[in-house]
Every structure is written in structure tokens, then in C-alpha cells.
RNA sequence: GUGAGUGUAGCUCAAAGGUUAGAGCACUGGACUGUGGAUCCAGUGGUUGGGGGUUCGAUUCCCCUCACUCACCCCA
């Protein structure tokens, strides 16, 4: 700590936080699982910048979306350009595809990415201003089977990272051909029922009547039940796509519920939308979500390339994951005197060359204090080097878990560690 | 942006207007200078989030402010 003179401690910016080593270990495990599983489905990582031109999101995410109208971290850089910390990932991939003419590669394209996103929201449980997503996108595949496969992949991932009780809400929001008619029908119904709606919903009837569906007022819910459903307004193509999508979910035997009121806050979705929700997460119960966006690439001036994707929120995932990080295995060096210290340093170098993690500390300690320290920091092995060991040339190795002690040359001792670790499936046995 | 709740040691919490703000855990050291976990003892650590007010006296009551939490809106 710094001096206590009226200095104010510097805290992180609201909605942002440090991830300390113990928790970071879990993040590493989750990210490693994601990579492993996504690669298993042919996805490849595509890393895009965190900072993008503001216009990318105004056009991609949608100028009327909540994200763009009130949640972006936008500022002017020293060159006078308006830049934005990305609030989501999809527009960046679309930009990269056009930039690098990736559409000329064999289709479909499968990309994944994991990293921080930024939205200027009011923080609450499961919601931060800097949060992290893992994101997958597929381009150039119109078949509804891919929409289902992405969800199947998500379930495999959830299983791998010990997230249980995930259910899927699915819907189709139609396309620019069928959506306008529905929007009009819904607006008319909402206006007609205006006197039965709360003041909040009366306002929604104008702006976004779909939102009336998830109002908690009993009278609004009652009125909403009489409103037309999007699924009754889909055009032939969209209806077919939706039917096929559901049939593949059935094939995988994935649990889902059709939620005709599921609207997502991003403007670009067409046809399939879905949300992965989980219990015990409080109000922000969506652990993942996504859908199809068949027109975004074209609207950016690129080729007519359809897209579909999924984003998973890592903070929320970790809030419900039962994953536990195994304690790290390593050797601690207990020594006495300068000569033994030097012998320890060289021994640790040899250990590390063989892939055995070591921690060596430089505080002079009694033997008892050394062992106490080794125990406290969780060492699995303690290497003992004192006067006796220096003169005999044989060091000692203590197995801290079994309280067994060995004596031998440094080569012999490393062999013991390696064999034992293998048997225990310790760090040397893992991939 | 709106609403509610909470701020006391690193963590979890006491102290209900009255001496020098305490305890457990954690940390450091000792009992114990060639062997850890247990036990016992001691020590470090606080502008009670900050500012103002009421009062002889405020951690306690009032106001402002900041932070955190939860919820609305929306989303991961």
C-alpha cells in the first residue's frame, strides 16, 4: 500500500475488474476447452482489433439498437477519428471478410474468437462494462442444419466446462420480406389494446411493440396473449428454414422451447434467433445467444454472403460452472547457507529443463520454517540441500503428500518426481 | 438513465450516543537452529468510504457525495 496521506486509492473503472490468479486458472481452462471443441468442428481463430471505427457498429450492430444508441465506449482519437471499443464481435469479422476477400476462399467459413467486449451499461449480477465472450461465426452456409450444429456444439462445450441446466429458446424473426407485415399487425393490435397496457407498454407500442411480450404486468401479459405471433407471418422460405432448424434440434435431441416473443436487441438478425438460458443466474440469465444474419455482409458493400453465429458470455458461464482448478504441482527448495543456495539454483534450473515447475525463495529460513513455508504455498515436493547434502553430493527429496523422503543424485531425484507425477496424473502427465 | 439496499482490519462480522473501535480467519514471529500440516503465545494491520451538520461526546442520528450490490431498461 502507498502512504495514507489523503491519497485516494485508485480503483478499476466501474464495471471492470481484475481477474486474480486463482480465478484466471478457470478462465484458462474454459478458453482451452472452447478452442479444443471449436477446432473439433472445423472452426479457426480469427483475431480482430478491440478498437474499431465507430461507423462499423453504427452500420453493423444497427443505428437503432440500444447498444449503439446508449451503450458504446466511443471517443475521438488523436487523429480526430471517432473510434469505439467493440460492444460485440460480429461486425468486426464481417469487416475482415470484406477486407481480405475471404469470401473467395472455399465456403463455408468457420471462425471463432474469444476476448473482451465493452458496453456502457449499469453493472449488475452477470453484467459488466468490460465482459468477455467466446464467439463463433459461420459464413456462406444457408442450410438450417448449421444453425442447429452451432447449438449442438455449444452444448458439448457446456458439458466440458461443467455447466448444467441450460435450456434453449428459439424463434424466427423472419426476413425483410415477411417482417414488415408482422410489425404492422403487431403495432395495430398493441394500439388497439392500448387502454389495457401499462404506461411503459403504451410507449413500447409505438417504438418496439415486441417488447410488450416480456412485460411483467399481468394486464399486459393478458393483452399480449391476444397479439399476433411472428411464426404465423413467416414467408415460405423463412418458414421452411425454421422447420428444418427445429428438425435438426430434434435429431440431436436437444431440449428447446419455441419462444415467439424472443427478440434480440441487435438489428441485423434474420430467420433463426436463439438464446441459451440457465437458472440461478439472477435477472441476467442468458449465458449465450445468437442467430442468423443473412444480409449484413451485403449491407456492408460486400458479397451476398449469409452468416450465422453464437456468442457465449464468459462471466456468466463461470458464475454457474462447477469447474474446479486442480492445485498446481511444483517443487520447493529448502536450503541453508550461500553454497547450498547456489546448488539449489542450479538444481532448479535442471528440474525446469525437464519440465518440473520449481519455486525457489531467497529468504533465509530455519529448516522448520522452510517446510512450513513449502506446506503453506502448496508444494508437492521439497528438495533439501544443506551441509550434509553438499558434502555427500546426494540431495534429498521429500514427497509432501505422502511424507516420504528420498536421497540421491539430482538425476535420480528428477526421475522419482517424473514417475510419481505420471502415476498421479500430475502436471507432467497432462497435455 | 431510473429505483432500492449496503459501506467498520486483507476476508467474514461485532460494537445500538459514552474510556484507547473488538473478535475469528489470514499474515509475521516465537515455543521448535535438519523436517510441514496440530496446539499454545505474541505481534503487524483502522482517518469506521469521503465531506459537512446535530451533540459535551458520532461507527451509531441528519444531509451531501463517492463506491459497491441488486433490480428496471437492455443484453453476454
Contact between A133 and A314 under an 8 Å Cβ cutoff? The reply is yes
- Output the CA angle A341-A342-A346, nearest 5 degrees: 115
Tally of residues, chain A = 431
Query: What residue has cell string 477519428?
Result: A81
A395: the nucleotide nearest its CA (via C1') is B34
Spatial distance from the CA of A3 to the C1' of B30 (Å):
30
The whole-number pLDDT of residue A263 equals: 74
Within 13 Å and on the Cβ side, how many CA atoms surround A373?
A: 19
Q: Per-domain residue ranges for chain A?
A: 21-178+234-320, 331-428
Which segment of A1-5, A185-189, A192-196, A318-322 scores lowest on mean pLDDT? Answer: A1-5
CB of A386 nearer than 7 A to strand B: yes
| Bases along strand B below 7 A from a protein CB | 1-3, 27-30, 32-37, 46-47, 67-76
- Strand B close to A428 by CB, under 7 A: no
Q: Which nucleotide is nearest to A277 (CA to C1')?
A: B76
pLDDT attached to residue A8: 63
The Cα–Cα gap between A392 and A388 comes to 6
Q: How far is CA A427 from CA A36, A37, A420, in A?
A: 19, 22, 11
Whether the per-residue pLDDT at A15 is higher than 90: the answer is yes
* ipTM of model: 0.87
Which residues 131-190 of A interface with strand B at a CB distance below 7 A? 131, 133
3-class SS letters over chain A: CCCCCCCCCCCCCCCCCCCCHHHHHHHHHHHHHHHHHHHHCCCEECCCCCEEEHHHHHHHHHCCCHHHHHCCEEEECCCCCEEEECCCCHHHHHHHHHHCCHHHCCCCEEEEEEEEEECCCCCECCECCEEEEEEEEEECCCCHHHHHHHHHHHHHHHHHCCCCCEEEEEEECCCCCCHHHHHHHHHHHHHHCHHHCCHHHHHHHHHCHHHHHHCCCHHHHHHHCCCCCHHHCCCHHHHHHHHHHHHHHHHHCCCEEECCCCCCCCCCCEEEEEEEEECCCCCCCEEEEEEECCCHHHHCCCCCCCEEEEEEEHHHHHHHCCCCCCCCCCEEEEECCHHHHHHHHHHHHHHHHCCCCEECCCCCCCHHHHHHHHHHCCCCEEEEECHHHHHHCCEEEEECCCCEEEEECHHHHHHHHHHHHHHHCCCCCCC
Angstrom distance (rounded) from CA A141 to CA A143: 6
CATH 3.30.930.10 applies to domain A21-178+234-320: yes
Judge if the beta carbon of A309 is closer than 7 A to nucleic acid strand B: no
Cα(A314)–Cα(A59) distance, rounded to whole angstroms?
A: 26
pLDDT per position as a tens digit, A97-118: 999 999 999 999 999 999 999 9
Query: Cα A2 vs. chain centroid, distance in angstroms?
Result: 35
A59 pLDDT band, cuts 50/70/90, is: very high
Name A residues 205-244 whose Cβ lies under 7 Å from strand B. 208, 211, 214-216
Residue A96 has pLDDT above 80, yes or no: yes
- Integer distance in angstroms from CA A375 to C1' B13? 29
The stretch A284-301 carries a mean pLDDT of 93
Q: Which residue has the cell 486509492?
A: A9
Distance A173 CA to B43 C1' (A): 67
Nearest to A241 by CA among A270, A276, A265: A270
**Nucleic strand B within 7 A of Cβ A86:** no
Query: pLDDT confidence of A334, banded at 50, 70, 90?
Result: very high
Q: Does the CB of A316 sit below 7 A from strand B? A: yes
Q: From the CA of A6 to the C1' of B57: give the distance in Å.
A: 25
pLDDT in the model for residue A265: 66
- Quick: pLDDT tens for A189-245: 888 887 777 777 777 777 777 777 777 677 777 777 888 888 888 999 999 999 999
Q: How far is the CA of A127 from the C1' of B58 (A)?
A: 38
Comparison of pLDDT for A117 and A4, the residue scoring more = A117
Please report, rounded to whole angstroms, the spatial distance between the CA atom of protein residue A350 and the C1' atom of nucleotide B30: 36
d(C-alpha A84, C-alpha A90), whole Å = 14
Query: What is the CATH topology of the domain spanning A331-428?
Result: Rossmann fold (3.40.50)
Beta carbons within 10 angstroms of residue A106's beta carbon: 6
User: How many alpha carbons fall within 13 Å on the CB side of residue A84?
Assistant: 27
A50: pLDDT strictly greater than 90? yes
**How is residue A118 written as a grid cell?**
465493452
Whole-number Å distance between alpha carbons of A204 and A202: 5
- Asked if strand B comes closer than 7 Å to A68 Cβ, the answer is no
Helix axes A338-353, A410-424, angle to 10 degrees: 50
Q: What band does A430 get if pLDDT is binned at 50, 70 and 90?
A: very low
Please tell me which residue, A260 or A40, carries the higher pLDDT value: A40
Would you state the pLDDT for residue A252?
96
Nucleotide with minimal C1' distance from the CA of A266 is B75
Look up the protein residue whose alpha carbon has the minimum distance to the C1' of B74.
A66
Say how many CA atoms lie within 13 Å of A4 toward its Cβ: 0
Amino acid at each position: 500500500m502507498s502512504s495514507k496521506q489523503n491519497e485516494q486509492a485508485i480503483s478499476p473503472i466501474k464495471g471492470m475488474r481484475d481477474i486474480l490468479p486463482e480465478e484466471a486458472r478457470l478462465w484458462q481452462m474454459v478458453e482451452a476447452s472452447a478452442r479444443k471443441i471449436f477446432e473439433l468442428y472445423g472452426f479457426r481463430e480469427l483475431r480482430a482489433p478491440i478498437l474499431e471505427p465507430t461507423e462499423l457498429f453504427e452500420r453493423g450492430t444497427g443505428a437503432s439498437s440500444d447498444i449503439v444508441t446508449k451503450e458504446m465506449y466511443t471517443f475521438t482519437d488523436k487523429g480526430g477519428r471517432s473510434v469505439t471499443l467493440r460492444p460485440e464481435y460480429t461486425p468486426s469479422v464481417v469487416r475482415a471478410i470484406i477486407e481480405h476477400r475471404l469470401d473467395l476462399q472455399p465456403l463455408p467459413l468457420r471462425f471463432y474468437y474469444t476476448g473482451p467486449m465493452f458496453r456502457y451499461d449499469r453493472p449488475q449480477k452477470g453484467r459488466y462494462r468490460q465482459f468477455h465472450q467466446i464467439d463463433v461465426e459461420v459464413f456462406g452456409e444457408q442450410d438450417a442444419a448449421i444453425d442447429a450444429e452451432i447449438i449442438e456444439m455449444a452444448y458439448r462445450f457446456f458439458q466440458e466446462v461443467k455447466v448444467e441446466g441450460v435450456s434453449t429458446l428459439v424463434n424466427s424473426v423472419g426476413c425483410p420480406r415477411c417482417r414488415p407485415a408482422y410489425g404492422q399487425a403487431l403495432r395495430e393490435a398493441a394500439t388497439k389494446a392500448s387502454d389495457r397496457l401499462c404506461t411503459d407498454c403504451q410507449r413500447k407500442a409505438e417504438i418496439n411493440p415486441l417488447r410488450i411480450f416480456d412485460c411483467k404486468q399481468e394486464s399486459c401479459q393478458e393483452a399480449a396473449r391476444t397479439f399476433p405471433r411472428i411464426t404465423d407471418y413467416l414467408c415460405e422460405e423463412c418458414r421452411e428454414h425454421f422447420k428444418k432448424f427445429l428438425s435438426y434440434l430434434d435429431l440431436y435431441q436437444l431440449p428447446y422451447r419455441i419462444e415467439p416473443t424472443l427478440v434480440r436487441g441487435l438489428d441485423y438478425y434474420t430467420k433463426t434467433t436463439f438464446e441459451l438460458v440457465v437458472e440461478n443466474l439472477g435477472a441476467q440469465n442468458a449465458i449465450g445467444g445468437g442467430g442468423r444474419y443473412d444480409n449484413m455482409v451485403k449491407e456492408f458493400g460486400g458479397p451476398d454472403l449469409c452468416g450465422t453465429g453464437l456468442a457465449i458470455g464468459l462471466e456468466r458461464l463461470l458464475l454457474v460452472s462447477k469447474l474446479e482448478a486442480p492445485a498446481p504441482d511444483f517443487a520447493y527448495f529448502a536450503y541453508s547457507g550461500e553454497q547450498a543456495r547456489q546448488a539449489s539454483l542450479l538444481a532448479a534450473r535442471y528440474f525446469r529443463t525437464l519440465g518440473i515447475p520449481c519455486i525457489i525463495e531467497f529468504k533465509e529460513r530455519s529448516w522448520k520454517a522452510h517446510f512450513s513455508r513449502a506446506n503453506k504455498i502448496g508444494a508437492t515436493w521439497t528438495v533439501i540441500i544443506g551441509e550434509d547434502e553438499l558434502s555427500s553430493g546426494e540431495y534429498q527429496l521429500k514427497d509432501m503428500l505422502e511424507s516420504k523422503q528420498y536421497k540421491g543424485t539430482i538425476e535420480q531425484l528428477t526421475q522419482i518426481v517424473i514417475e510419481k507425477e505420471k502415476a498421479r496424473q500430475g502436471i507432467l502427465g497432462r497435455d
